[in-house]
Amino acid sequence: MARRFFGRLSAGLEYTAVLGRQAGFEIDTTYAGGALDLRAVAGPGAEAGVSFGVAPGAAAETDEDLMHEELSRYSLKPSGYSGRVLGWSAEAGDAPCQTFAVYRDGVWKTRGLFVSKARGRVDDPDDVLNGFCLRILGRLIDVASLSGGAGRRWTDESYSIRGLLEGRRAPTALRWPR
């Protein structure tokens, strides 16, 4: 079921990328090693990307935000096993920044940086899924417009005089828009 959802998600992201290109944005989609890479360029030096792929296997879902409505952490039966579709973005670090839990009955739930919280069904109409994909693409364009120095925040990393004199980058990170 997770692979089926990933196929529909990929098709929706491809469709919305076409709409974004028609609106004048530079948006690329490529497939590499079973992952869909989506990249948006908002201007010179201002770009961001996200890659989505299916994690192999299924397991009991323990994240309550992603747990099927009919289950709780106290009753994990086999119907509570989910497959996962994960999203990674270099702008967010190495860990997945978007997680989809997809259940055998076709229910999916997600949380992350691109979409804070949502749910649906694998067999939702194309218009519904494309609208959801448009939210992801819009967020990616927001992140792209913040890169390149704008939209940065200070981190807790130390920064020494030596770092300054050697021209090392200041300890900042991308400030994700709300």
Q: What is the domain partition of the chain in residue ranges? A: 2-174
Report pLDDT for 147.
57
- Tell whether the torsion through CA atoms of 123, 127, 133 and 135 is positive or negative: negative
Mean pLDDT for the stretch of residues 109-120? 90
SS3 108: strand
Greatest mean pLDDT among 23-32, 40-49, 75-84, 157-166 lies in 23-32
- Range of weakest confidence among 8-17, 38-47, 107-116, 145-154: 145-154
User: How does the average pLDDT of the chain come out, rounded?
Assistant: 84
Q: Is the pLDDT at 69 greater than 80, yes or no?
A: no
Q: Is the pLDDT at 85 greater than 90, yes or no?
A: yes
- Rounded Cα gap, residues 8 and 133, in angstroms: 10
- Rounded Cα gap, residues 178 and 176, in angstroms: 6
